């Protein structure tokens, strides 16, 4: 019998992407609500409890409400919102984090899908903490450039409007509340990486649809054992060796332009390391709608339902 899969919030950016990625698969049964009942709570409750696995592509409060509707103990959940990323009882859905994490996802009933900016940050920083290069109190600085699709329907509408204002034609730094600089992904960055010092993180949205580049900036003399940039590349290459979606190219030495939309339409993530004996920049490139959202969600679904992890993904 095919697993039954329901997407609660199919009309949003992430939900629609998941629906499109699963639409051609014949190894699952996608169940849907009639358009006129998609927000009807009794209908949603019935579909949620009749599914083997549910994707929650909803605002935080609505995601928590959806979980409260579950009465069937066999229902598995992947939450794409921020609501459960640091919650007890939920597994963080980044399989490449370590073998134990992948195993936990396979056996989990509740998986929190990572945030897009957090995916880039964690993929670079978590291994360096585990490897002893960074400690929990290390001061970490980074920025992340993304296409406007990550802002949802409102932002997409603003950027695609014919009469959009001139400021939307240039990159825009956001999350600049000077009283705290608390970007919504910072709590999961800290929790998953084991940090006790809040990183200084600056997100930037630019005038293109999708794709992301997250950069971590390091002074090598502030790292344990004072590694060179090439040492860091070699460590990350070994850490992710054998992974299908995550790759660390050979150390290139000389800098170059790095476009942030290199992996659009895929579930691939690439860590590029540049620098010298004194300083290192790790730039993580991936699709904010792919490995940063819907692609990661499908990858987690594959693991949770016993499919090949790469099924339906490129």
Catalytically annotated residues: 116
Q: How many CB atoms lie within 10 A of CB 86?
A: 14
Span between the terminal Cα atoms of the chain, in Å: 26
C-alpha angle 92-103-74 in degrees, rounded to nearest 5: 75
Q: How many CB atoms lie within 10 A of CB 12?
A: 16
- State the Cα–Cα distance between residues 282 and 272, nearest whole angstrom: 6
Q: Name the CA dihedral angle for 284, 286, 289, 291, rounded to a multiple of 10 degrees.
A: -90
- Give whole-number Cα distances, 63 to 1, 85, 115, 232, 303, in Å: 28, 12, 15, 38, 22
């Amino acid at each position: 019998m095919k697993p039954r899969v329901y997407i609660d919030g199919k009309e949003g950016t992430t939900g629609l992407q998941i629906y499109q990625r699963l639409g051609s698969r014949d190894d699952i049964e996608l169940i849907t609500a009639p358009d006129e009942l998609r927000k009807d709570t009794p209908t949603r409750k019935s579909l949620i409890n009749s599914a083997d696995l549910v994707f929650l592509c909803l605002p935080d409060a609505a995601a928590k409400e959806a979980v409260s509707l579950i009465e069937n103990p066999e229902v598995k959940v992947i939450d794409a919102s921020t609501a459960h990323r640091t919650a007890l009882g939920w597994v963080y859905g980044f399989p490449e984090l370590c073998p134990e994490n992948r195993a936990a996802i396979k056996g989990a009933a509740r998986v929190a899908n990572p945030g897009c900016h957090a995916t880039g940050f964690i993929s670079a920083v978590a291994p360096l903490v585990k490897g002893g290069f960074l400690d929990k109190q290390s001061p970490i600085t980074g920025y992340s450039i993304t296409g406007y699709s990550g802002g949802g329907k409102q932002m997409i509408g603003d950027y695609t409007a014919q009469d959009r204002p001139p400021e939307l034609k240039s990159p825009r730094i956001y999350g600049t509340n000077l009283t705290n600089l608390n970007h919504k992904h910072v709590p999961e960055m800290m929790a998953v990486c084991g940090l006790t010092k809040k990183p200084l993180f600056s997100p930037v949205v630019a005038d293109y649809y999708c794709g992301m580049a997250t950069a971590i900036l390091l002074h090598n003399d502030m790292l344990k054992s004072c590694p060179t940039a090439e040492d860091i590349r070699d460590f990350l290459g070994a850490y992710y060796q054998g992974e299908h979606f995550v790759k660390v190219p050979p150390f290139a030495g000389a800098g170059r332009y790095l476009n942030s939309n290199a992996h659009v339409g895929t579930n691939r993530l690439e860590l590029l390391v540049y620098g010298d004996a004194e300083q290192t920049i790790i730039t993580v490139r991936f699709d904010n709608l792919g490995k940063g959202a819907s692609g990661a969600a499908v990858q987690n679904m594959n693991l949770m339902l016993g499919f090949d992890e790469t099924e339906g993904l490129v």
